[in-house]
Amino acid sequence: MKKLPLYLPLLIVLLIHADARAEGRCPDGYFPIGGGSAGWEGCAPMGSDAGTGTAEEPEPQWETRWGAVATTDGAMGVAAGQESEESAKQQALSECQTHSQGKPCEVRIAYYNQCVAVAWGDAGSRMTRSPDLKDAEETALRNCEKTTTNCDLYYSACSYAERVQ
């Protein structure tokens, strides 16, 4: 049996070490490409997204939501979370008409992607819209108290935009 040269085990260890070092030059999720006779080295992504880069989350898409308040002497109708201004107005008018005893209702306020508050006192009501519900309520009460007495918060709601994707 022939003896192996003494340098052969050292050569094998160096080759294994060089191969392991080449695989470690890329970040997690990537593998080495090129090198050797190609004259260049790089990293490519592993898995099904190879060649397309990293998959990004799509931007969220939002849809406007509408609300409305309709009143007549002694009756009120409201709508919130509607997909269009027209549907919000129609719903508020329809609800108002069912309680109006035949008196004609009128849309007093329509709003979108925000809140509304209605404060009612002895001599009528005041309505306010705001991006913040608490602010809408406080402002409606404050405005009501400027023009009449015995004001109370009667209605408040928000119709914020809804994420659809």
Burial class (CB in 10 A: 0-12, 13-18, 19+), 148: middle
31 in a domain, yes or no?
Answer: no
Stated pTM of the model: 0.64
135 to 115, 131, 156: CA distances (angstroms): 9, 8, 11
111-121 residues labelled b (16+ CB within 10 A) or e (exposed): bbbbbbbbbbb
The contacts of residue 80 (CB under 8 Å, 6+ apart) are: 65, 67, 88, 157, 158, 159
Spatial separation of the C-alpha atoms in residues 159 and 92, rounded to whole Å = 14
Confidence (pLDDT) at 58:
85
Instruction: Provide the domain count of the chain.
Output: 1
Q: Is 51 contained in some domain?
A: no
Degrees to nearest 5, angle at CA 137 with 110 and 144: 85
Does 45 fall in a domain?
no
**pLDDT bracket for residue 52 (50, 70, 90):** low
Per residue in 103-139, pLDDT (tens digit) is 999 999 999 999 999 999 999 899 999 999 999 999 9
Determine, yes or no, domain membership for 92.
yes
Residue 92 C-beta-side C-alpha neighbours within 13 Å: 27
Q: What's the pLDDT tens digit per position in 79-88?
A: 999 999 999 9
- 22 domain-assigned: no
- Domain assignment of residue 103, given as a range: 65-163
* Residue 148 lies inside a defined structural domain of this protein: yes
- The proportion of the chain whose per-residue pLDDT surpasses 90, expressed as a percent, equals 60
Q: Rounded to the nearest 5°, which phi and psi values hold at 125? A: -125, 165
